[in-house]
Amino acid sequence: MDILLVEDDLAIATPLVSALEHTGYRVRHVSTGADALAAESPDLVLLDLGLPDMDGYDVCRAIRAGSNVPIIVVTARGEEFDRVLGLELGADDYVVKPFGSRELIARIRAVQRRVGSAPSSDDAVDEVVAGPLVIDQRAHKVTLGGEPLVLTPKEFDLLTFLAEDAGAVRTRTDIIEHVWDANWYGPTKTVDAHVAALRRKLGDHSWIEAVRGVGFRLEVPGT
């Protein structure tokens, strides 16, 4: 696995590169947003927000605009607003400094599992269709009316989970357990942030209906 580490503080970057390489990952380290955007596409990005040439949020937005590569934000900004904003811009996880290398590696592996999860049984459904929305789970692609949608891995998993039983209400607990995991501890607004991002990309708020006090359900608009 090829990891792009975007971190301007060598005191953090140097031991982190060593720990990741010791675990078996290939790591490319850059210290600016410009270098991150110019780098060859990796398998995963570790992104600091406090970069010397541009805000990490802008880097996250730019990467996500053209790629589904998993992004884990690694930053000292620990407020819930910062976490939610990072997730809304397309980050797949958010780690606050200081952190242990073992925690970060565990989060990388969790993202790998989510991105790499695919139907494996003979009865698995490779394609989920809801009106003009088509989700190809094997190819990890989504089209709406024949046009491709660029989604983050978590957005893809969330949309698939909702679309697999369109019309049924998925509780927040079910969503967190299936899209994240049962032992995930993050900001309470994470689900809402991802739903909001999906609604924007789907182009119609009515695709995903909020059921107050329960959760969300996917409905094909106009049906």
pLDDT value, residue 207? 96
Q: In what order do the strands lie in the sheet containing 141-144?
A: 127-130, 133-136, 141-144, 147-149
Q: What are phi and psi of 63, to 5 degrees?
A: -65, -45
Between 53 and 115, residue with greater pLDDT: 53
In a domain, 50, yes or no: yes
Is 150 buried (19+), middle (13-18) or exposed (0-12) by CB count in 10 A?
Answer: middle
Task: Examine the domain organization and report whether 112 and 131 are in the same domain.
Answer: no
- Helices and strands: H and E segment counts in the chain: 8, 12
Give the tens place of pLDDT for each residue, 53-92. Answer: 999 999 999 999 888 899 999 998 888 888 888 888 889 8
Please, which residues bridge with residue 25 across strands?
none
Statement: residue 196 has pLDDT above 80: yes
Task: Assess whether 8 and 98 both reside in one domain.
Answer: yes
Nearest Cα to Cα of residue 195 among 167, 144, 154, 142: 154
List 127's β-bridge partners, or say none: 136
Which residues 6+ apart lie within 8 Å of 193 measured at CB? 84, 87, 88
Quick check: 195 pLDDT over 90? yes
Question: Where among 116, 135, 167 does a domain terminate?
Answer: 116
> Looking at residue 60, what is its pLDDT?
94
Q: Are residues 108 and 153 in the same domain?
A: no
Angle formed at CA 198 by CA 39 and CA 61, multiple of 5 degrees: 25
pLDDT single digits (tens) 164-193: 888 889 888 888 877 876 455 555 578 888
Overall average pLDDT of the 96-123 stretch: 70
Count CB neighbours of 88 within 10 A. 19
Of 116, 144, 168, the residue that ends a domain is: 116
Which of 91, 116, 141 terminates a domain? The answer is 116
Total domains in the chain come to: 2
Q: Are residues 85 and 9 in the same domain?
A: yes
Question: Does residue 121 sit within a domain?
Answer: no
Alpha helix segments (H runs only) across 89-145: 101-116
Q: In this structure, are 112 and 6 located in the same domain? A: yes
Q: Which two tokens stand for residue 56?
A: 């990490």
pLDDT of 11 above 50: yes
**What average pLDDT does the segment 135-148 reach?**
89
19, 105 Cβ separation under 8 angstroms = yes
Structural domain harbouring 29: 2-116
CA–CA distances in Å: residue 158 to residues 3, 29, 138, 171, 217: 24, 31, 16, 12, 11
Domain of 107: which CATH number?
3.40.50.2300
Is pLDDT at 218 greater than 90 in this prediction? yes
What's the CA gap between 156 and 52, in Å, rounded?
A: 32
